Amino acid sequence: MKRFATLVLAALATTALTAPVANAAAGEVIVYTAEVVPVAVFKDPKGCHAVPNGAHVLVNRTDEEVEVYGVPGCLGLPILAVEKSYGSHVPPAAASFRA
């Protein structure tokens, strides 16, 4: 039984060490709000980010699709998907995004 437990633990450790890790999207996401506010630039975004208040346009200059969510924390279903190298007007309900 000890040998079996050792083999199982070794297999789990090997799987954990070789499992793919979520990497940051390469590039940047640019969010434009208004003429009087500097654009927000998210370089190599990884994970979930808050959409700046009053965001008007999101430009996806990454190598992955960007999903925009209507709630903070990128919870639930996305309300908008922006393909790589494209941009979109941001809905007023936008609260967060993930690349």
Q: Give, as one character, the DSSP assignment of residue 13.
A: H
Give the total number of structural domains in the chain. Answer: 1
pLDDT tens-place string over residues 4-41: 444 444 444 444 444 444 578 999 999 999 999 999 99
Q: What is the pLDDT of residues 39-66, one digit of tens each?
A: 999 999 999 999 999 999 999 999 999 9
What range does the domain containing 73 cover?
Answer: 22-98
The answer to the question of residue 55 being in a domain is yes
* Mean pLDDT of the 72-86 span: 97
Indicate which CATH number applies to the domain containing 48.
2.60.20
Let me know: does 19 contact 12? Beta carbons within 8 Å: no
